[in-house]
Amino acid sequence: MKAGDNFSRVFVVDEPVYSGFIQTFHDTNPLHTNDEFARSMGFKSKVMHGNILNGFISYFIGECLPQKNVFILTQEISYSNPVYIGDQLNFSATITEVHESVNVTDIKYKFSKTDGTKVAFGKIKIGLR
Amino acid sequence: MKAGDNFSRVFVVDEPVYSGFIQTFHDTNPLHTNDEFARSMGFKSKVMHGNILNGFISYFIGECLPQKNVFILTQEISYSNPVYIGDQLNFSATITEVHESVNVTDIKYKFSKTDGTKVAFGKIKIGLR
């Protein structure tokens, strides 16, 4: 991997992902489970958990990079817009810096909806061993 | 919620959490699934996915705060030490700042093992509506 390398991937927040997240982590906050409550907070309907996107990031780092001997050191994520059930997300990531002396690589990424709406963006620092 | 408020919680990275995370997000990188591979990278055995901790953070924000009308704006996490299957983690969080004019609250947190080893730490910015 070298600076400038790009990766992209499509992720869908479908029912199995949504239900799997809730069954695993038990976050049933009404924003995520109750359409009426979500609408009272100004959203279109129940909002998907932001940390579902961090699960997709785990998959990206673990499964989509050319090397398997990687592990995450730090992550940052900023949520720009809500994700709803069934949304298809275009994920794109770019290697921004490779610190060869310590085998650390910096990545920036974003998630967008198919209409171009930015959903989340951030940075990941990974180690290679 | 006001600056200085503390929250704590125990989370266990048990088999259902580990399996549920993999079934939901399909990150089967050998570091997380193969003890031999993990040992070749210098770890004791297969290492739990860091983003399992972000699932616990989802639960904390969604279920353990005194208010339900919350949503996450940004998150940062730094991983200090590996987590292994069965590890019990003490999670503690402190409200560091309340920005009343915009209903935004800053939180810092850490995860530690029962022997005191720090596992991860970071910051969360939440909105209230």
In this predicted structure, what is the pLDDT of residue B99? 96
**Is B56 an 8 Å CB contact of chain A?**
yes
- Catalogue the E-assigned strands of chain B: 6-12, 70-79, 88-99, 104-113, 118-128
ipTM: 0.97
Residue A55, pLDDT > 90, answer yes
Residue A129's pLDDT band (cuts 50, 70, 90): confident
Range B75-99 average pLDDT: 98
Ordered structural domains, chain A, with CATH: 6-128 (3.10.129.10)
**Is A49 an 8 Å CB contact of chain B?**
yes
Which residues of chain A make contact with B67, given a CB cutoff of 8 A?
none
Range B92-112 average pLDDT: 97
In this predicted structure, what is the pLDDT of residue A18? 98
Contact B79 A78 (CB under 8 A): no
**Is B30 an 8 Å CB contact of chain A?**
yes
Q: Residues with Cβ < 8 Å from B105, sequence gap 6 or more?
A: B1, B95, B97, B98, B99, B125, B126, B127, B128
Range B24-37 average pLDDT: 98
Contact B47 A129 (CB under 8 A): no
Q: pLDDT tens-digit profile of B59-72? A: 999 999 999 999 99
Residue A72, pLDDT > 90, answer yes
Range B18-32 average pLDDT: 98
Closest chain A CA to residue B49:
A58
